[in-house]
Amino acid sequence: MKAPPFRYHAPRTLDEALSMAATLPSPRLLAGGQSLMPMLNFRLLAPENLIDLNRVEGLSGIRESGDAVVIGAMTRQREIEFSALVKARLPLLAEAIQWVGHRQTRNRGTIGGSLCHLDPSAEQPMVAMAMEATLSIAGPGGRRDLPMRAFALDLMTPALEDGEILAEVRFTPWAASHGWAFLEFARRHGDYAIVAVAVLIELGADGTASRVSITLGGVAATAVRVADAEAALLGTIVSPSDIDAAAACCGSVDALGDPQVPGWYRQRLARTLCARAIPIALARAAGGPASVRHPGNDGTNR
Amino acid sequence: MNADEAMREITLAVNGKTHTCKVAERINLADFLRQDLQLTGTHVGCEHGVCGACTVLVDGVSARGCLMLAVQADGCRVETVESLAAGTQGAAGLGPLQAAFRDRHALQCGYCTPGILMSLTELLRDEPSPDEEAVRLVLSGHLCRCTGYQNIVAAALQAATKPAGGA
Amino acid sequence: MDTIVPSGQVVEPAAATSGDGYTARRMFGTRAPRIEDPALLRGEGRYLDDIRMPDPLHAAFLRSPHAHARVVRIDLAAARALPGVVAVFDAQAIARELTSLRMPLGFPSATLQKDITPWVLSCTEVAFVGEAMAMVVAESRAIAEDALALIEVDFEPLPVVHDCHQALDAGAPVVRSDAASNIAERLQVGFGEVDTAFAGAPHVFSESLFVHRGAAHPMEGRGVLARYDPVEDAITVWTSTQMAHEVMHSISAMLGMDQHNVRVIAPDVGGGFGCKYLTYPEEVAIPAAARCLGRPVKWVEDRAEHFVSAIHERDQYWDVDIAVDARGTILGVSGRLLHDQGAYTPQGINLPYNAATSVTGPYRVPAYRMDVIICQTNKTPVIPVRGAGYPQAAFVMERLLDRVARELAIDRADVRSRNLIPAEKMPYDKGLTNRAGVRSIVDGGDYARTQSEALARIDYAGFPARQRDARARGRYLGLGLANAVKATSRGPFESAVIRVSPLGRIDLYTGALAMGQGLATALAQIAAEQLDVPLDMIHVTCGDTGRVSLGMGGFASRQTVMAGSSVHLAAVEVRNKALKVGEQLLGVPMDALRLRDGRVESVADSGRFVTLGDIARKLKGAPGYSLPPGITPGLEATGLFQTNSQAHANACHACEVEVDPGTGAVRILRYVAVHDSGRLVNPTMAEGQIHGGIVHGIGNALFEKMGYDDEAQPVTGTFADYLLPTATEIPHIEVVFIETPSPTNPIGVKGIGEAGTIPVAPTIVSAIEDALSPWNVHLAEAPVSPVRLLELIDAATAT
């Protein structure tokens, strides 16, 4: 299992990388390598040219910009995991990142790599979808911005044209008092989720849910927002029956199936995890404990 | 080696020693350490980043040696299992984490052990007194078929209580 | 020098306190740190791929992507032309180097279908995904793999046998065109009046069970390195194997070289778990290439290859009936086992034979009959993995007993204790014969005590209250238990040589094979107990055919018993010889001498001594000088402990699980294992064996499934989809030992390596079923996945 031959390039600037991506035959961009390298080792891919983004200046880092938190595409998952800024402003991302692979892969894996790989059950695309992140894409003709909804075209298919490079991701934090929850079910800790759910809730002064985001990973070709589940909570003082209604919505989304994991099972997990996540997010929105527990091995954070 | 093989010169520090060498562009870090530098303590178990046997420290943090090209380590500081007994004496000379592994029978065939030692070295540097859950979370990035993990957890916790740290 | 000790001797340690207060070293039974560890911990282990060899070549194999196909054309020209490629062998080319293109059968059998073993390289037909068809030898592995991509093959796909049941269908395709049928062999095992027992039984219950066990997956895969010496016409082969001597004999036969010109060495082995107890085609092809090309050739199996070309255990379907009386006393068991053998039978039928003959396990069963049909399918060949059929058999028996308990409303522990072989009936004749044709006699053990100890540790009596409380909080706890017995110490013999050099170095050579268990430490402890030296004075070499001419290797939980006994016999002989010579040299009577730290010294005056090296120098002989009277040459001895009887290790496991009915997740909350493996040489290492065995069993119960689709294409080919348990899925495991010395060997030990695995799946499945008792879910399979559990809960809710 040795990688096929390719030419390796290590550009130092984004312009240099863009130029290589535009001119070299059969190029492939290498970010953290935690998904690409196994595919190379298995010879599932045979690019003629491998363009390593790890030495490109200015693609990495976490900063505040106006109302937004901007994360460079080559920012390592480890940096996000240990970022005080992310913990304070983007607690959903801080919680979700702990479910990404293992420490040893988070040390090299990047948020941009995950967004471009766009695995249907990956956590970072889910958070980008849940928070309506904006992706800044550099190309031969300059920059363009895309909302995550438009970036995630289809199964493992980002809306990137040939020669384009994802540069950064812009998250707009929710109100400081918002509640959040990220739950995931996988057979073993660190495996790709079978199903994961991300919930964000803001409560109005009267205790009604004034803003809601419910996102599922692992059920469809890409992470999906569940609008009817969100509607079941919006504008109400959320009751157990509202939670059941939202969970039922999650449990009836069209789900992918395969011989190991049939669609009905993904739907069941979506319902179960949603029903468990909403109370956690609600409690946090109401000022409850915000501590992020290590993920448990049964995927339910109980 | 095939004359057509794309090569590139890199300079890196491995276990405190600087090496400058020409390497095949496609060779991964684990194979480079094993074949070019003869540091065969780093093992290869799956070549797809799951088993963890090839884990080494790159600039102080754990990384899968099979999921990184050697050329990407140009300019980096790499630590392997061969560094862990540095400064110890005698035939049984072992660093504190290694000694704890022996003490608690935390290895059997020993094939997965070097990678696990490197991950735990990182953990104990970052978090000198981890609890069992933290140890198990780090270990979840490694596969061991022999030990059932229990004695590895015990060894990590034993090494953690020592003031000198993991390694 | 061969020594055969009759059964029944349990030798008490020679150690005792002398008058001067020196207490002889006790090594047997201590928690000595392992002598293997320092090198392994420093990264100085020497596994196959770590061996440095000047100017080596590297091999890679072209493997079939089809489960069954005719090979119409194979074109090697482009591969041969790639720079860096030295040679490409297909079946025709390799056949020129060999006496046979077909591999030898591991365990000869008169009843097995003929021409059933794998090819070194397949020629006109491929019969499973992963079957080797061609071998590229190149200057690097990467180039060899580049060349594989250049080999052009035209396949004509053939109909596929993908499952045991389908294999038996009328009109089913035949697994290989040279196979007479899809049934490799049918056999029946049993004893007693089965029909009578069932005819008169108050209750008969039937179960249809499916037991799957995946692959072995040691963390180090297979690997072979061969170096040919044209001057001596000799070949040295390093291979990651569990059986160096058998591999040597296979290479000798296949390459047509006398065994004295073939040396096989097992370097450090990174785990075996059964899959390295076989001579594989690659172990013949690589030395053949090395001899042909005149350069060292290495092949290191990668994980993708391991998934499809190293053996599996896979599928067994059991249709079984149990007859019991009103109290749940077993009157008889009968049924049919369909066993999936895969596309070839490289070793024999020992796996299904073991499974069929070990069902009755630790229980008294007056009448038993099992019809076994060994089915061939277009999948990777099957030989035993850790447990070797016993885990499946235990699953069958324990599921039957849980069924009896449920149907007759008898407590699960009670139905077991009513049927366990009573301690006072030991030794107990199982009514069956083992492969050696010897009556299967359980040598001893207190099974009731083992079970009651497990129940006490898990607080069995307090569990109903815990379960009730949990349910009141909407949580579903279950408790499971299972018993098991393993016939260990497979004969007929194992070898050990202990030799002291004139420089005082003590070497211990054995044909047993270390693959990570700590064998060198265990054998050194047994030797040191007699020789009274620290462990690091004993240099242990396992699995080198150049050092000891006979050996069997590592399988069937045998080595501590078989090699351990041989070491004990050799060490006693060396000890006695050293004392006798010491008596003559020192003029002190033997019974006033002792061994200590490599010397023979006077107990009364430790200043009067002679070193073992001095004695060895005397005994190596000098021209014309006579040896001391009555002493044979050399300070060395060979132990060849020989037996066909087996030491039976037993266990009872109990666990508590929580099942999440919202996800189907199973969490193991507590796990207790009580084991009797006779006297323990090293309790710490024994615990390690149990931990590892149990976690292997947890994999089999909950995680590991080697999946195939209906075209026999594997669907689990990476560690991301074939799930080995990791540290976060595993509970703390509590291990308790009871030590009943075995009378079958001079040191009273029983095997342990597989014992931990056997009862795990039935224990966990019983606990899950208990947790789901509000739904009355019945489990008849292993492994069980969360998907399957929710499916069963749904089905039960719907009815």
Residues B63 and B74 placed together within one structural domain of the fold:
yes
Is the Cα dihedral C750, C752, C754, C758 positive or negative? positive
Highest-confidence range of B87-101, C16-30, C782-796, by mean pLDDT?
Answer: C782-796
The single-letter DSSP state of residue C662 is: T
Query: Of A43, A261, A299, which has the smallest distance from its Cβ to C663's Cβ?
Result: A299
Between vectors from CA A174 to CA A173 and to CA A178, what angle results, nearest 5°? 135
Instruction: List CB contacts of C200: < 8 A, sequence separation 6 or more.
Output: C331
What is residue C183's predicted lDDT score, i.e. its pLDDT? 97
Evaluate whether residue B1 is within a structural domain: no
In the complex, which subunits touch A with 3 or more CB pairs below 8 angstroms?
A: B, C
Residues B75 and B17 placed together within one structural domain of the fold:
yes
The answer to whether C177 contacts chain A (CB < 8 Å) is no
Q: Which residues of chain A neighbour B71 with C-beta distances below 8 Å?
A: 8, 10, 52
Q: Which long-range contacts (CB under 8 A, 24 or more apart) does C106-110 make?
A: C106/C246, C106/C278, C106/C279, C106/C346, C106/C347, C106/C348, C106/C383, C107/C347, C107/C348, C107/C349, C107/C350, C107/C435, C108/C348, C109/C185, C109/C348, C109/C349
The span from the CA of C85 to the CA of C57, in Å, is 9
The span from the CA of A93 to the CA of A172, in Å, is 12
Residues B77 and B96 placed together within one structural domain of the fold:
no
pLDDT, tens digit, 9 for 90 and up, residues A174-200? 999 999 999 999 999 999 999 999 999
Domain stop point among B83, B107, B136: B83
Contact C505, C766 (CB under 8 A): no
**CATH number of domain containing B17:** 3.10.20.30
Both tokens of C349, joined, read 């039928």
Residues B79 and B95 placed together within one structural domain of the fold:
no
Residues B109 and B77 placed together within one structural domain of the fold:
no
Rg (CA), chain B: 16
**CATH number of domain containing B113:** 1.10.150.120
The answer to whether B77 contacts chain C (CB < 8 Å) is no
Evaluate whether residue B45 is within a structural domain: yes
Evaluate whether residue B2 is within a structural domain: no
**B165 pLDDT tier (thresholds 50, 70, 90):** very low
What is residue C25's predicted lDDT score, i.e. its pLDDT? 85
Evaluate whether residue B165 is within a structural domain: no
What is residue A295's predicted lDDT score, i.e. its pLDDT? 42
Q: Cβ separation of A190 and C715 shorter than 8 Å?
A: no
Query: A with C: how many residue pairs have Cβ under 8 Å apart?
Result: 76
The region of weakest confidence among A162-176, B93-107, C7-21 is C7-21
Parallel, antiparallel, or unpaired for β B77-79 and B55-58?
Answer: antiparallel
What is residue C288's predicted lDDT score, i.e. its pLDDT? 98
Domain of B145 in residue numbering reads as 85-160
**B91 pLDDT tier (thresholds 50, 70, 90):** low
Which of C558, C570, C572, C563 shows the shortest CA–CA distance to C511? C563
Query: Of A2, A5, A104, which has the smallest distance from its Cβ to B55's Cβ?
Result: A104
Q: How many C-beta neighbours within 10 Å does residue C735 have?
A: 21
Task: Find residue B9's DSSP bridge partners.
Answer: B22
Q: How far is C59 from chain B (nearest CA, A)?
A: 14
What domains appear along chain A, each with residue ranges and CATH number?
A: 7-52 (3.30.43.10), 62-171 (3.30.465.10), 181-285 (3.30.390.50)
Evaluate whether residue B148 is within a structural domain: yes
Residues B89 and B78 placed together within one structural domain of the fold:
no
Q: How many C-beta neighbours within 10 Å does residue C798 have?
A: 6
Query: Of B4, B111, B135, which has the smallest distance from its Cβ to C271's Cβ?
Result: B111
Which of A150, A156, A144, A154 shows the shortest CA–CA distance to A115? A156
A261 → chain C, closest CA residue: C787
The span from the CA of C553 to the CA of C559, in Å, is 8
pLDDT, tens digit, 9 for 90 and up, residues C707-727? 999 999 999 999 999 999 999
Q: Which residues of chain B neighbour C685 with C-beta distances below 8 Å?
A: 105
Q: Which residues of chain C neighbour B85 with C-beta distances below 8 Å?
A: 41-42
Q: How far is B94 from chain C (nearest CA, A)?
A: 7
Residues B64 and B95 placed together within one structural domain of the fold:
no
Is the Cα dihedral A227, A229, A230, A231 positive or negative? positive
Q: Which residues of chain B neighbour A50 with C-beta distances below 8 Å?
A: 25
Residues B36 and B102 placed together within one structural domain of the fold:
no
Q: Which residues of chain A have pLDDT under 70?
A: 288-302
Contact A208, A112 (CB under 8 A): no
Q: At C678, give phi and psi (nearest 5°).
A: 70, -155
Domain stop point among B67, B83, B99: B83
Mean pLDDT of chain B: 94
The span from the CA of C598 to the CA of C612, in Å, is 6
Residues B150 and B92 placed together within one structural domain of the fold:
yes
DSSP states along C274-343:
TTTSS--HHHHHHHHHHHHHTS-EEEE--HHHHHHHS-EEEEEEEEEEEEE-TT--EEEEEEEEEEEEES
Residues B55 and B97 placed together within one structural domain of the fold:
no
Q: Cβ separation of A189 and B71 shorter than 8 Å?
A: no
Q: Cβ separation of B141 and A38 shorter than 8 Å?
A: no
Q: What percent of chain C clears pLDDT 70, i.e. is strictly above it?
A: 97
Contact A56, A14 (CB under 8 A): yes
Please state the domain count of chain B.
2
What is residue A166's predicted lDDT score, i.e. its pLDDT? 98
Evaluate whether residue B167 is within a structural domain: no
Domain stop point among B48, B83, B118: B83
The span from the CA of C779 to the CA of C766, in Å, is 8
pLDDT, tens digit, 9 for 90 and up, residues C439-464? 889 999 999 999 999 999 999 999 99
Residues B74 and B89 placed together within one structural domain of the fold:
no
H or E segment and range at residue C415: helix C412-417
Q: How far is B14 from chain C (nearest CA, A)?
A: 14
The answer to whether B145 contacts chain C (CB < 8 Å) is yes
Q: Cβ separation of C787 and A261 shorter than 8 Å?
A: yes
The single-letter DSSP state of residue C384 is: -
The answer to whether B34 contacts chain A (CB < 8 Å) is no
3-state secondary structure of A101: coil
The answer for A 250-289 residues in CB contact with C (under 8 A) is 259-262, 265, 268-269, 272-273, 275-276
**B2 pLDDT tier (thresholds 50, 70, 90):** low
Instruction: List CB contacts of A138: < 8 A, sequence separation 6 or more.
Output: A14, A18, A164, A165, A166, A167
C703 → chain A, closest CA residue: A187
- pTM: predicted TM-score of the whole model, two decimal places: 0.96
Instruction: Tell me the CA distances in angstroms from C690 to C320, C388, C408, one per residue in order.
Output: 29, 16, 33
Parallel, antiparallel, or unpaired for β C368-376 and A134-139?
Answer: unpaired
Residues B64 and B94 placed together within one structural domain of the fold:
no
Evaluate whether residue B151 is within a structural domain: yes
Query: What's the mean pLDDT in C192-205?
Result: 97
Evaluate whether residue B69 is within a structural domain: yes
pLDDT, tens digit, 9 for 90 and up, residues A32-90? 999 999 999 999 999 999 999 999 999 999 999 999 999 999 999 999 999 999 999 99
Query: Of B26, B69, B119, which has the smallest distance from its Cβ to A104's Cβ?
Result: B119
What is residue C111's predicted lDDT score, i.e. its pLDDT? 87
